Amino acid sequence: MTSPTSAAQPVHSKLAVTLRALLIPLFLALHLSAQAQLPLGGHASKTPAPAKAATPDKPAEQRAQTEALLADAQKQLEAASAGNENSTLPSEQQRLLERLVGTYGERLKLLDDLAASRAGKSDPTGTAPDYNVFSGPPPYSVLLVDALRRDFDTANERHAGLISSARALASQKRAQIELQKRAQEAVRRGEDRVARARSDSEKEKEREALALAGLRLQLSDAELNNIALAEQRIGIETASAAQRVTEYKELITRVLPKQRFSPADFQRQQSYLRDTQARLSGEIDRRLAENSRRTTERERMARNLGDPADPETTRRLKLLDEALENDRIVLMTLNWQQALGQFLSEAWQARFDGLSAQDAQARQKAVGNLKTIHDELQTRRPLIAELETAIANSMRDQEQRLQGLPPEDPNATYEKSVLDLLKQRLEAFQRLSAAADRFDHQLDRWLTEDFGVKPDASGEYWQIAYLELLQKLKAIWNFEMFAVEDSTVVEGKTVTVTYGVTIGKSIGALLLFVLGYWLFSRVARRLQRVMVERFGVDEQLAGVIRRWAMISLGLVLLVFILNLARIPLTVFAFMGGALAIGIGFGTQTIIKNVISGIIILFERKIRVGDIIQLGGTTGHVTAVDLRASTVRGFDGVEALVPNSSFLENQVINWTYSNARVRREIRVGVAYGSPIHAAADIVAGCAEDHGQVLKDPPPAVFFEDFGDNALMLALVYWVELGPNTVTRRIDSDLRFAIEKRLKDANIAIPFPQREIRLTGSETIPVQVVVPPSGPGDAPR
């Protein structure tokens, strides 16, 4: 449009005022019409509105209505633009109309998209692939199953994206409803201000403000309508995507257990990996050639360097250095991609071995190899992410540095070139990271779905570690320590059989022997109690029988277990001679004590509970075993006495035939005392004691005329037993004798000496008192 002349400007101003006055009622009518014609509900349920016209339900009617609204808005925009042609900036009314035209145009596109969604033509992934091959009989190619799972991943990502879009639209709708409420409130306030205006100029001003408020409300209604249409479209596509995901999941669940990794599929996959590696090698060669060219150019520039202070030369050198560093980093990422490809080839080999394995051990080995590759990849991914983050940070710094330079600055070109090189580095790392992510996803899927190994909450495959540990333990269990040849004669021919003695056989035989011996010991103890309680067998004899029975059963059990574990007895033949000699000399004393114990147990000359005296040991016999017996002395100290000592030395058994023991206490009374009364007193003390036997009765004998006293001897008998302490009985009797003799005024003399001095002369006696010092006690 050509600019108007200055003479025509007043005419245009009057025309603009007239058009605005005519358009105010039209905007209000359009606002009410838009509220009545919202096909998707919009805000009608939240804001009171005038009576609505019939809402068009058919897509054709909705499209026709939207086209009519669009045409009307375009006419209003043309009129507003004609009225504002003198201004260089668009008015507020013009901007609102432009947005309204764009909103109606967007609604037409949304209606087309909604129709396509209803027709099922909006899936960007295309129509569902033809998987009729899975309707045939199994097995199914593992490569085709992998393609199915990739399609499932794509559908799942699309479904997740649609759900995120629906959430974003819901948030946008809430915000738009708030804007609509404010626009409605602005229209109501504008109507009130128009009604309260008094002058024509004031009314004209308020009508213009009301028209703008009406346009804002119409724009808000249109945008809310578009959001509702978008929600409908996304809802339909989300349901379709969810159905597609469910179909894929059901199909994968059905065909996955029936997949087969044929050698042809494996060779086809390996050929594809080799081609990929070849392309990477070609790219590396091209990068190396470019790097060599840049290196040569850098050396040439360094040799022909004119003025070192020239900024342009310095920038060119620095840019070449950055390019060389860029080549180094990109080559490093390419080499890492090649290593990643090698890992991928090894992973495919392990997957092929696992899916083709016929036994569990080979399958477990393949799973372990996949786990090893997975762990190796996990150790490298943090370094890749760290380098990628560092380059991204450098890019942000470079962008800020470039923003601070004007376009005409010579340094701007240099900084932009450096930024381009940084972008190439970031793209290289992003490419490497994407390849590592795909590989990691493949490994997780193979381990989880193909081999049924589930990771824990932290992502660790402890099940594989557990299986590897079991495998190692199994290898240790089956480790063959040595092999033994056993020769037998069958139909006149010598047949030699080789038996391997493994750690597992040895441990199993030992555990079985311990278990059997424990069971036999419980049965033997039960039989011992039965012999003692029911058949009256002496407890010691029953113990001897039990011990010998356990020895015999232990030998039989040992031979049985060795035969059961297929460990031939010839294993021990090679050490028989040396063992016999060692046993003959080393166990001579032991055998002698064992035989002595057997004799003691059968002769029963010494039994448990007897009080014996052997050498300097006196006490109760508490145990009689095969090798040694236990004697607890009266002082509580237990002594282990070898059984041969009872046969080779003299033993005093105080309780051999009976437990009665004669005791004797000697006491002296003073000369001149009534000896018969003293004897009766001493005898009465013994008769009154509860532990002194009445048969035979205690007796007192006048034993001798001593140097200082008349000697009496009290003889009495006691029954030895667990609760009998002869020393206590002797002490009790002495206390009683001393008390009763004292009460009878019969003295117990102590040794006395009478000294007689003879001589013709008197011996003078003088008592001398020594001088006492300050620290001496008086005497």
Lowest mean pLDDT among 630-639, 668-677, 768-777: 768-777
E strands, 254-361, in order: 259-260
Query: Above 70 in pLDDT, residue 454?
Result: yes
Nearest residue to 80 (alpha-carbon basis) of 7, 10, 26: 26
State the chain's mean pLDDT as an integer.
Answer: 79
Residue 27: what pLDDT? 40
pLDDT of residue 464: 61
pLDDT band at 453 (very low <50, low <70, confident <90, very high): confident
Confidence of residue 51 (pLDDT cuts 50, 70, 90): very low
pLDDT band, very low/low/confident/very high, at 175 (cuts 50, 70, 90): very high
pLDDT tens digits for 101-124? 899 899 889 888 888 888 876 655
Residues 184 and 111: their CA atoms lie apart, in Å, by 26
Residues 166/286, Cβ–Cβ less than 8 Å? no
Q: Which residues, 6+ apart, have CB-to-CB distance to 305 below 8 Å?
A: 313, 317
Phi-psi region of 672 (alpha: psi -120 to 50; beta: other; left: phi over 0): left
Q: Is the pLDDT of residue 756 over 90?
A: no
| C-alpha–C-alpha distance, residues 144 and 261, integer Å | 10
Comparison of pLDDT for 394 and 22, the residue scoring more: 394
What single letter denotes the amino acid at residue 367?
Answer: V
What pLDDT sits at residue 289? 92
DSSP notation for 6-40: GGGHHHHHHHHHHHHHHHHHHHHHHHHHHHHT-TT
pLDDT (tens digit, 9 = 90+) per residue, 179-188?
Answer: 999 999 999 9
Give the separation between CA 41 and CA 686, rounded to whole angstroms: 123
> Do β-strands 638-642 and 628-633 pair in parallel, antiparallel, or remain unpaired?
antiparallel
Nearest CA to 229 out of 51, 62, 44 is that of: 62
The strand ranges marked E within 601-685 are 611-614, 617-624, 628-633, 638-642, 652-653, 660-669
pLDDT band at 329, cuts 50/70/90?
A: very high
**pTM value > 0.95:** no
Buried b (16+ CB within 10 A) or exposed e, 676-686: eebbebbbebb
- Compute the distance between CA of residue 440 and CA of residue 492 in angstroms, rounded to an integer: 66
Q: What is the pLDDT of residue 386?
A: 92
Check whether 540 has a pLDDT greater than 80. Answer: no
Percent of the chain at pLDDT above 70? 79
Q: In terms of pLDDT, which residue wins out, 578 or 696?
A: 696
Helix (H, G, I), strand (E, B) or coil at 507: helix
Q: Which pLDDT band holds residue 722 (cuts at 50, 70, 90)?
A: low
Confirm if 198 and 14 have CB atoms less than 8 A apart: no
Q: What integer is the mean pLDDT of 770-774?
A: 58
What residues pair up with 711 in beta bridges, in sequence order?
668, 704
Per-residue pLDDT, averaged over 387-400, amounts to 90
**pLDDT score recorded for residue 37:** 36
Q: CA-to-CA distance for 309 and 305, rounded, in angstroms?
A: 10
Whether 20 has a pLDDT exceeding 60, the answer reads no
* pLDDT tens per residue, range 476-500: 877 777 666 666 666 667 767 676 7
Q: Give the pLDDT of residue 6.
A: 37
For the stretch 255-311, pLDDT in tens is 988 899 999 999 999 999 999 999 999 999 999 999 999 898 888 877 776 555 567
- Beta strands 611-614 and 652-653: pairing type? antiparallel
pLDDT > 50? residue 3: no
Cα R_g (the chain), whole angstroms = 58
- Strand 628-633, strand 617-624: pairing: antiparallel
Amino acid found at 218: Q
Residue 62's nearest CA partner among 39, 78, 44 is 39
pLDDT at 546: 81
Q: Which of 585, 520, 604 is nearest to 555 (CA)?
A: 520
